[in-house]
Amino acid sequence: MHSENPNLTFDPKLNKVVIFCAPSGSGKTTIVKHLLSIDSRIAFSVSACTRKKRANEENGKDYYFLTHVAFKNLIASEAFLEYEEVYGGNFYGTLKSEVDRIWELGKAVIFDVDVEGGLNIKKHFGDKALAVFVKPPGVEALEQRLRYRSTETEETLRIRVNKAVQELQYEDKFEYVLLNEDLDEALVVAENLITEFLTK
């Protein structure tokens, strides 16, 4: 299939996935964005969701914005690697076709997903996956970061912190736990992890 386009330089070694998971506010999105900016061998897996598009967001770049009906039809046709219904009744999920799209470009896939979703993806891809858990210095630091964002009400902040406490118990299920106490140090470690995984 790849040979149909002579412009594609397909590297079968890059038929891999890299999964970054963390409680909300741990810094995983910052780390993933950094890796995408410096490593052309990886491409970001765009998730699907049912929440409304925000003013600064673009369909197909930030998310695939779907109706609840369309999302549920895709669930019924087993189109998702993983999905979940979150607080507020919205659905988020990872489409199998998104991985195929990126592999067709001759790149490895990088995911920025929640802990449960990441473990489901890891289970699906086995040895082709590197699963990294980004760990905050502690729950207090996590709460401070979430407050600093100024995007949470007290109610949603409490929900996120409680979920984080639960998610921190899953760290031993990941190949690597990346402590994000000093962001610059965490970025270097993440770069080294990606390089080692993609070249082996």
User: For a pLDDT cut of 70, what percent of the chain falls above it?
Assistant: 92
Q: Is the pLDDT of residue 143 over 90?
A: no
Report the pLDDT averaged over residues 124-135: 96
For the entire predicted model, the pTM comes to 0.85
C-alpha dihedral, 160 to 138 to 184 to 34, nearest 10°: -20
Amino acid at site 60: G
> Which tens digits make up the pLDDT trace of 80-96?
999 999 877 999 999 99
CA distance 94 to 85: 12
Residue 24, burial from CB neighbour count under 10 angstroms (0-12, 13-18, 19+) = buried
What interhelical angle do 154-167 and 139-149 show, nearest 10?
Answer: 150
CA distance 147 to 144: 5
> Which tens digits make up the pLDDT trace of 154-164?
887 888 788 88
Give the three-state DSSP class for 87: coil
**CA distances in angstroms from 146 to 52, 134, 140, 152, 155, listed in the order given:** 21, 15, 10, 7, 12
Per the CATH hierarchy, to which homologous superfamily does domain 11-199 belong?
P-loop containing nucleotide triphosphate hydrolases (3.40.50.300)
CA distance 65 to 113: 16
- Bridge partners (DSSP) listed for residue 108: 42
